[in-house]
Amino acid sequence: MKLRYLPLLALAVASCSHADKPAATAAPDARFDAFKNQFIEALWRQNPDFASSQGYHKYDSLLVIPDAAQRQRDAAFMQQYLAALGKFSLDSLSPNNQIDLRLLRNELRAERWYADTLQNWQWNPAGYNLGATVGDLLNGRYFPLDRRLRNISDKISHASEFYTAARANLSNPTREHTQLAIKQNTGGLAVFGSALADSVQKSGLSAAEKKTLTDRIATTRQAVQGYLDFLQKQVLPAGKFRSFRIGKDLFDQKFAYDIQSHFTAAEIYQQALKHKAELLHDMGHRAARLYPKYFPGQKAPADTLALITAVVNQLTLKHAPREGFVDAVKRQIPTLVAFVNEHKLLTQDPSKPLVVRETPLYMRGSGAGASVSAPGPYDKGANTYYNVEPIPAEWTPAQAESYLREYNDYTLQILNIHEAIPGHYTQLVYANRSPSLVKSIFGNGAMVEGWAVYAERMMLENGYGNNSDEMWLLWDKWNMRVTLNTIIDRAIQVNNMSENDVVTMLRRDGFQEEAEARGKWLRATLSQVQLSSYFSGYTEIYALREELKKKKGKDFNLKAFHEEFLSYGSAPVKYIRELMLRK
Ligand code: ZN
Ligand code: ZN
């Protein structure tokens, strides 16, 4: 990174403020608070893209060149702060700060582990995509257009160095991540297309600035195209790929860093196997009750899996039309808001509306049909987007039908609970109110995904869907999905499970459509451990609620539980549990 613009100023300000830092005799919590602020400020300078994504825009104009010298600076940075962290004694801090200290320590160790041991910078070409970064800056509303364009202009002035470093880093990448990089950088190229050119023309930039920016956009397009050519014409034909499977040791370590559960990866895998059997049992009962309603006068299949399949296939016939998928999602949001309010499940913030949009091109293709992009803790006023991927135009009618049946009218409601209300969107609004910046920034993925999965079951338990066997049966099927996610994640990455075996299992035990199962396989080849986060977090949150119910008896209040649980921000569930039990 080149400290050419604001950072020089920021450095000066930061070093001035050191003069007023609390003396060594200050209370440990005060010293730790000062340390956290100093660390986060330094981290943003070290990682401007991360800062931008969190809504901290001081360094938007900087581009980090991902070369060996930068990796050395990163390593020194982590080492320095790990050492500083070691000077605080855990017991001397408040419970909230104890969690923050553990989170920071894990974060710093994890960063080192990713760079030194996992080394994904060598084998994941999709990690380099200027279009995604610039697209986010362009769409962000934090600065007026002119300022955003000036930041973009400075940032992309180093596009060639960026992609040169990217190429130099790659050594036997995986075929799967190479293909993803081609797809996403092709989408990224669209960011530097006519819409950006139009913005430049209608902006208030001077003629000279416009000329500079236009030239830089042209150079950036060449750099992205050069990277695409390199991947398509050299890397792919050479065929020297490593396996995308990371194996047992790396998987177990990654699980420990990413999930921060009190369970090991192997223990969660065993729990998932057990839960799978319980879900199948419940599905059998519900399907047996529903069969006469949907197949009057017919004899039910004797085989339970066939019985469940018959009923599920009947229920999934109700689905949105191909062209109306994104609209169907939009229409359901107000219903969910009203249900949460009427049933007093938690307090919502009407000043933070959720914007449903079609997923931007540069984000498509990773296998996730819907996602939430939320503003970070620094720009709480920015839009939260619910990204929904429209059915790709190139899909055949059969492919589209398969996908639409997977997201049938029942399941689409559960998806919206998960992604939006009171799932991810609601949780993120709470997280941004959390008094701890550390917890807002280093959000724990298992807690975040676990909450969304927990929210699905909690809504149904409180009568969403009128407690019908139809809704519960499709919830079982949906919950089976996260359970199987955990099972296949380990089975693929550690036990070498083949694509055909995975698809067969997802279709048979998960009752999934072909397109869904193939999409899941793709996603499981591109990520590791992330697929296990849903089930891990959900299991821990549900257990915590039941534990507190037991402890508090008649005094237990569901709304109060939800609001307190969410008030700690996106911390690992095991630490939230400690705080809630201490009260
Ligand atoms: Zn149909
Ligand atoms: Zn989710």
Question: Rounded to the nearest whole angstrom, what is the distance from the C-alpha of residue 418 to the centroid of ligand 2?
Answer: 6
Output the pLDDT for position 11.
Answer: 30
Output the pLDDT for position 9.
Answer: 29
Question: Rounded to the nearest whole angstrom, what is the distance from the C-alpha of residue 531 to the centroid of ligand 1?
Answer: 29
> What distance separates the 2 farthest-apart alpha carbons in the chain?
84
Output the pLDDT for position 13.
Answer: 32
Question: Rounded to the nearest whole angstrom, what is the distance from the C-alpha of residue 405 to the centroid of ligand 1?
Answer: 7
Which ligand places an atom closest to the C-alpha of 531? 2
Q: Distance (Å, rounded) from C-alpha 461 to C-alpha 458?
A: 5
Q: Distance (Å, rounded) from C-alpha 2 to C-alpha 62?
A: 7
Q: State the burial class of residue 443 (Cβ atoms within 10 Å of its Cβ: 0-12, 13-18, 19+).
A: buried
- Tokens for 310, please give them: 């018959």
Question: Rounded to the nearest whole angstrom, what is the distance from the C-alpha of residue 291 to the centroid of ligand 1?
Answer: 20
Question: Rounded to the nearest whole angstrom, what is the distance from the C-alpha of residue 458 to the centroid of ligand 1?
Answer: 29
User: Nearest Cα to 339, choosing from 202, 521, 462?
Assistant: 462
Q: Are 301 and 310 spatial neighbours (Cβ–Cβ below 8 Å)?
A: yes
Q: State the burial class of residue 116 (Cβ atoms within 10 Å of its Cβ: 0-12, 13-18, 19+).
A: exposed
Q: What are the residue boundaries of the structural domains of the chain, listed by start?
A: 18-244, 258-582
Which ligand places an atom closest to the C-alpha of 314? 1
Question: Rounded to the nearest whole angstrom, what is the distance from the C-alpha of residue 28 to the centroid of ligand 2?
Answer: 37
Question: Rounded to the nearest whole angstrom, what is the distance from the C-alpha of residue 452 to the centroid of ligand 2?
Answer: 6
Q: State the burial class of residue 202 (Cβ atoms within 10 Å of its Cβ: 0-12, 13-18, 19+).
A: exposed
Output the pLDDT for position 7.
Answer: 28
Question: Rounded to the nearest whole angstrom, what is the distance from the C-alpha of residue 517 to the centroid of ligand 1?
Answer: 18
Model confidence over 187-225: pLDDT tens digits?
999 999 998 999 999 999 999 999 999 999 999 999 999
pTM for this entry: 0.83
Q: Distance (Å, rounded) from C-alpha 422 to C-alpha 561?
A: 14
Residue-level pLDDT, tens digit, the chain, 583 residues: 222 222 222 233 333 333 344 445 579 999 999 999 999 999 999 999 999 988 899 999 999 999 999 999 999 999 999 999 999 999 899 878 988 999 999 999 999 999 999 999 999 999 999 999 999 899 887 899 999 999 999 999 999 999 999 999 999 999 999 999 999 999 999 999 998 999 999 999 999 999 999 999 999 999 999 999 999 999 999 999 999 999 999 999 999 999 999 889 999 999 999 999 999 999 999 999 999 999 999 999 999 999 999 999 999 999 999 999 989 999 999 999 999 999 999 999 888 778 889 888 877 765 557 888 877 677 767 788 899 988 888 889 998 898 899 899 999 999 999 999 999 999 988 887 766 889 888 879 899 999 999 999 999 999 999 999 999 999 999 999 999 999 999 999 999 999 999 999 999 999 987 888 999 999 999 999 999 999 999 999 999 999 999 999 999 999 999 999 998 888 999 999 988 998 7
Q: Distance (Å, rounded) from C-alpha 191 to C-alpha 171?
A: 28
Model confidence over 161-197: pLDDT tens digits?
999 999 999 999 999 999 999 999 999 999 999 989 9
Question: Rounded to the nearest whole angstrom, what is the distance from the C-alpha of residue 247 to the centroid of ligand 1?
Answer: 40
Give the number of other Cβ atoms within 10 Å of residue 1's Cβ: 18
Output the pLDDT for position 570.
Answer: 87
Which ligand places an atom closest to the C-alpha of 398? 1
Output the pLDDT for position 19.
Answer: 38
Output the pLDDT for position 365.
Answer: 65
Question: Rounded to the nearest whole angstrom, what is the distance from the C-alpha of residue 360 to the centroid of ligand 1?
Answer: 27
Question: Rounded to the nearest whole angstrom, what is the distance from the C-alpha of residue 422 to the centroid of ligand 2?
Answer: 12
Question: Rounded to the nearest whole angstrom, what is the distance from the C-alpha of residue 450 to the centroid of ligand 2?
Answer: 8
3-state secondary structure 446-459: HHHHHHHHHHHHHH
Question: Rounded to the nearest whole angstrom, what is the distance from the C-alpha of residue 94 to the centroid of ligand 2?
Answer: 31
Model confidence over 410-445: pLDDT tens digits?
999 999 999 999 999 999 888 877 668 898 888 798
Q: Distance (Å, rounded) from C-alpha 86 to C-alpha 79?
A: 11
Q: Are 481 and 284 spatial neighbours (Cβ–Cβ below 8 Å)?
A: no
Question: Rounded to the nearest whole angstrom, what is the distance from the C-alpha of residue 33 to the centroid of ligand 2?
Answer: 31
Question: Rounded to the nearest whole angstrom, what is the distance from the C-alpha of residue 285 to the centroid of ligand 1?
Answer: 26
Question: Rounded to the nearest whole angstrom, what is the distance from the C-alpha of residue 534 to the centroid of ligand 2?
Answer: 7
Question: Rounded to the nearest whole angstrom, what is the distance from the C-alpha of residue 567 to the centroid of ligand 2?
Answer: 19
Q: State the burial class of residue 302 (Cβ atoms within 10 Å of its Cβ: 0-12, 13-18, 19+).
A: exposed
Q: Distance (Å, rounded) from C-alpha 372 to C-alpha 377?
A: 15
Location of structure tokens 């991360």: 50
Question: Rounded to the nearest whole angstrom, what is the distance from the C-alpha of residue 506 to the centroid of ligand 1?
Answer: 21
Output the pLDDT for position 20.
Answer: 42
Which ligand places an atom closest to the C-alpha of 397? 1
Output the pLDDT for position 380.
Answer: 67
Which ligand places an atom closest to the C-alpha of 315? 1
Question: Rounded to the nearest whole angstrom, what is the distance from the C-alpha of residue 407 to the centroid of ligand 1?
Answer: 11
Q: Distance (Å, rounded) from C-alpha 121 to C-alpha 384?
A: 29
Question: Rounded to the nearest whole angstrom, what is the distance from the C-alpha of residue 527 to the centroid of ligand 2?
Answer: 14
Q: Distance (Å, rounded) from C-alpha 30 to C-alpha 131?
A: 41
- Name 545's Cβ contacts closer than 8 Å, sequence gap at least 6: 454, 561
Q: Left (φ > 0), alpha (ψ -120 to 50) or beta: where does 552 sit?
A: alpha
Question: Rounded to the nearest whole angstrom, what is the distance from the C-alpha of residue 411 to the centroid of ligand 2?
Answer: 14
Q: Distance (Å, rounded) from C-alpha 322 to C-alpha 301?
A: 32
Question: Rounded to the nearest whole angstrom, what is the distance from the C-alpha of residue 209 to the centroid of ligand 2?
Answer: 42
Q: Distance (Å, rounded) from C-alpha 246 to C-alpha 192?
A: 35
- Name 81's Cβ contacts closer than 8 Å, sequence gap at least 6: 39, 42, 104, 108
Which ligand places an atom closest to the C-alpha of 402? 1
Q: Distance (Å, rounded) from C-alpha 385 to C-alpha 148?
A: 20
Output the pLDDT for position 366.
Answer: 56
